[in-house]
Amino acid sequence: MSLREIWSGRRGKRTGAASPTSRSGTGRAGSGPVVQMTGICMDFPGGRALDEVSLTLHAGEVHALMGGNGAGKSTLIKVLTGVHAAADGQIVVDGRSRTFSGPADAESAGVTAAYQETFLCTNLSIGENVMLGHEIRGLLGIDWVRTRQRAGSVLAELGIDDLDPRLPLSGLSPASQQLVSIARAMVSAPRVLVLDEPTSSLEAGETARLFQVLDRLRSQGVAIVFVSHFLEQVYTISDRMTVLRDGRVVGEFLTRQVERAELISTMMGSSLQALQEIGSQRRDHRVEPSDQPWYRAIAVAQQGALEEVDLEIYGGEVVGLAGLRGSGRSTLGRLLSGASRSDSGTVEIGGQAIRLHSPAHGLAHRLAFAGERRRHAGLIEELTVRQNVLLALQAMRGWRTPVARGEVDALLGHLLERLDLDAGAADATVGELSGGNQQKVLLARWLAIRPRLLVLDEPTRSMDVAAKVHVQAQVAALAREGVSVVFISSELDEVVRLSDRIVVLKDREVIGEISNGPGLSVDTIVEMIAADRDEF
């Protein structure tokens, strides 16, 4: 059953006559935009978030919303979906002016959104998450059999019919959860579907599958808003794009008419050159393991997540961990830093075996782990940036040694400057910051303790190009100062650009280790992963 059939079935019940063709009829025919937002203004305590922003969405088009961190993309889509009320401006849906009182209100007007997977309910089943608020009711309240069937058919339409709606959501990978989130948004058969960074936790194959679904929805006349940092994806899927910068619209293009270079410079100016510079700088400062490694992990493992691994780390070295999501790369990072406890083996620092049972032990040896899910690992959203940075420092020194205010100010000023964060951000709560800036604060938090080993798990996830450049430059700078960095990223080009040595993982095992050099490229690693076969 296709989604359209599900919809028409649903509509048929109400109107008596289903007309499956009416939807595509209103599609590309161009009978006027589905949504027209004009003059949207929005103020936040920190200042103006949106300034006279306009956005026009057409049926049967994928509209990309582009812009750097803090450009106002998230705020704009939250106004469109009724989460925020705009201070000024007009939203016209299907020719009617609307004021949305909340997401439910926007949904009844045909506008729904799939947010990042962290905004699902991990305590409920997959099916319940998909159907929350749309459960099918019979004479005895919710009819769970039909509700589950419906959830199953919506999931099937998205190509994820392998998920049993009855299983708990918490057992799914972030990627699958993201698809569940999209399925949820599709349940009410929206005319406008907003996707906020839908691919940030997906692997290439999963992204391709998502795009097939979007293609189908587009041909059915749904207007799709696609927010993403991945340029190539935007070029693959979108028909039209609106570019935001500092809360203003700085351009609207047809995707096929705009060059990548032009788009990037519209978004943020010239950062591309900086990226190339990092690569060449890293190559100049490449560390050849000379004397003794200061850090040695021997046969560390975690049951069910990672087979035994030996790893040596030298000072000032960047070790990249490459592998697919779920290959054990995050687990290895956690074990190295003490964020997780190893089931076996030992860790030696300077030839001495150390106790590494908890993050506190890791901190005592200045081993830090900056996790992938910043919401869960490392940042407390209710506290200010200053307090978050302070926490790590205080945790290392112990509660008996107070940290002087002046010392914190100096350190914070230094860190903010280093990470290219606004100095005024120090006293903002972390929850108020955009995703990319939160990632920077997480990094600042760990840099504050001046680590000897810093494990970065997806440090550039959901960052724009400019912020990515900045973080990569920071990693390079840290290595120059003698810090050892373990760098984990899904984006292999980052790993190749930064690392001195690359450890390749597959299926919870290390399958090889390569020294970086001129001959090494992303393809080398991809081939290595592809060529490795289990031998029985």
Applying CB under 8 A, the residues found at the interface with another protein are 82-83, 102-107, 112-113, 115, 119-124, 128, 132-133, 135, 137-146, 166-168, 170, 184
Q: Which residue, 106 or 498, is less far from another protein as judged by CB?
A: 106
Which residues lie closer than 8 Å to 319 by C-beta, 6 or more apart? 311, 313, 484, 485, 486, 487, 499, 500, 501, 502, 503
167: left (phi over 0), alpha (psi -120 to 50) or beta: beta
Please report how close the Cβ of residue 533 comes to another protein at its closest, in angstroms. Answer: 32
Please report how close the Cβ of residue 418 comes to another protein at its closest, in angstroms. Answer: 31
Q: Which residue, 360 or 380, is less far from another protein as judged by CB?
A: 380
Q: Which residue, 102 or 350, is less far from another protein as judged by CB?
A: 102
Q: Which residue, 94 or 135, is less far from another protein as judged by CB?
A: 135
Q: Which residue, 172 or 466, is less far from another protein as judged by CB?
A: 172
One-letter identity of residue 366: R
Q: Can you read off the two tokens belonging to residue 457?
A: 């798990």
Please report how close the Cβ of residue 133 comes to another protein at its closest, in angstroms. Answer: 5
Q: Which residue, 103 or 289, is less far from another protein as judged by CB?
A: 103
Please report how close the Cβ of residue 340 comes to another protein at its closest, in angstroms. Answer: 17
Please report how close the Cβ of residue 148 comes to another protein at its closest, in angstroms. Answer: 8
- Cβ(460)–Cβ(467) below 8 Å: yes
- Cβ(474)–Cβ(480) below 8 Å: no
Q: Which residue, 132 or 208, is less far from another protein as judged by CB?
A: 132
3-state SS track over 86-135: CCEEEEEECCEEECCCCHHHHHHCCEEEECCHHHCCCCCEHHHHHHCCCC
Q: Which residue, 80 or 453, is less far from another protein as judged by CB?
A: 80
Report how far residue 82's alpha carbon sits from residue 99's, in angstroms, rounded to the nearest whole number: 8
Torsion sign over Cα 260, 262, 264, 267: negative
Please report how close the Cβ of residue 143 comes to another protein at its closest, in angstroms. Answer: 6
DSSP letter string, 247-309: TEEEEEEEGGGS-HHHHHHHHHSS-HHHHHHHHHHHHHTPPP--S--SEEEEEEEETTTEEEE
Please report how close the Cβ of residue 152 comes to another protein at its closest, in angstroms. Answer: 14
- Taking CA atoms, 439 is separated from 32, 186, 417, 436, in Å, by 40, 30, 15, 5
